[in-house]
Amino acid sequence: MPVASSFIYERIAPFLSESRRVRAFVCFSPVNVYWASRFRSTSCVLLVERGSNVYVFTDSRYEERACSHFLDARVMVGKHGALQEFLNFLKKRNRWHIALDSDELTGSELLAVQEALRERMHIQKGLWRKMRAFKTDEEIFMLEKAYKKHKPVINALLEFLSCGPVPRSEHEISLFLKRKLLEAGFDNWSFEPMVLSGKRTSCPHGENSRNSISRKGPFLIDFGGVFSGWCSDETIMIYSDETGARRFKDYHLALKEAMDTAIDMIKPGVRCSDVDAVARAVLKKYKLADHFTHGLGHGVGLEVHEEPIVNSRSEIVLERGMVFTIEPGVYFSGRFGLRLESTVVVERNGARVISTISKNPLMLR
The number of angstroms, rounded, from the C-alpha of 358 to the middle of its chain's C-alpha atoms is: 21
- Please give the chain's pLDDT, 365 residues, in tens: 899 999 999 998 887 767 778 999 999 999 999 999 999 999 999 999 988 799 999 999 999 999 999 999 999 999 999 999 999 999 989 899 999 999 999 999 999 999 999 999 999 999 999 999 999 999 999 999 999 999 999 999 999 988 866 677 999 999 999 999 999 999 999 999 999 999 999 999 999 999 878 777 799 999 999 999 999 999 999 998 888 788 999 999 999 999 999 999 999 999 999 999 999 999 999 999 999 999 999 999 999 999 999 999 999 999 999 999 999 999 999 999 999 999 999 999 999 999 999 999 998 87
Per-residue pLDDT, 164:
66
- From the number of C-beta atoms within 10 Å of its C-beta (0-12, 13-18, 19+), residue 67 rates as middle
Q: What is the DSSP string of 203-225?
A: STTPPPPSSPPPTT--EEEEE-E
Q: What is the DSSP string of 261-328?
A: HHHHH--TT-BHHHHHHHHHHHHHHTT-GGG--S-SEEE-SSSSSEEEEESTT--PBP-TT-EEEE--
User: Any idea of the CA torsion for 64, 68, 70, 71, to the nearest 10 degrees?
Assistant: 140
- From the number of C-beta atoms within 10 Å of its C-beta (0-12, 13-18, 19+), residue 284 rates as middle
- Please give the radius of gyration of the chain, using alpha carbons only, rounded to the nearest integer: 23
DSSP 8-class letter at 334: T
Residue type at 194? M
- Which residue spans of the chain are classified as CATH 3.40.350.10? 5-131
Predicted TM-score (pTM) of the model is 0.93
Does the domain at residues 5-131 carry the CATH identifier 3.40.190.10? no
Per-residue pLDDT, 35:
96
- Which residue spans of the chain are classified as CATH 3.90.230.10? 137-363
Q: Please name which of 307, 318, 310 lies closest in space to residue 270, comparing C-alpha atoms.
A: 318
The number of angstroms, rounded, from the C-alpha of 149 to the middle of its chain's C-alpha atoms is: 17
Q: Please name which of 103, 79, 94, 92 lies closest in space to residue 26, comparing C-alpha atoms.
A: 103
Per-residue pLDDT, 327:
98
The number of angstroms, rounded, from the C-alpha of 49 to the middle of its chain's C-alpha atoms is: 29
Per-residue pLDDT, 242:
83
Residue type at 200? R
Bridge partner residues of 339 (DSSP): 329
Inter-residue contact 344 to 326 (CB < 8 Å)? yes
b/e sequence 175-187, b meaning 16+ C-beta within 10 Å: ebbbebbeebebe
Residue type at 339? R
Phi, psi of 361 (to 5 degrees): -55, 130
Task: State the SS3 of 149-199.
Answer: CHHHHHHHHHHHHHCCCCCCCHHHHHHHHHHHHHHCCCCEECCCCEEEEHH
- Note the CATH number of domain 137-363: 3.90.230.10
Residue count (the chain): 365
Q: What is the DSSP string of 71-139?
A: SSSEEEE-TT-HHHHHHHHHHT-TT-EEEE-GGGS-HHHHHHHHHHHGGGEEE-TTHHHHHHTS--HHH
Question: Which residues are within 8 A (CB) of 67 and not within 5 positions of it... i.e. 6 or more apart?
Answer: 75
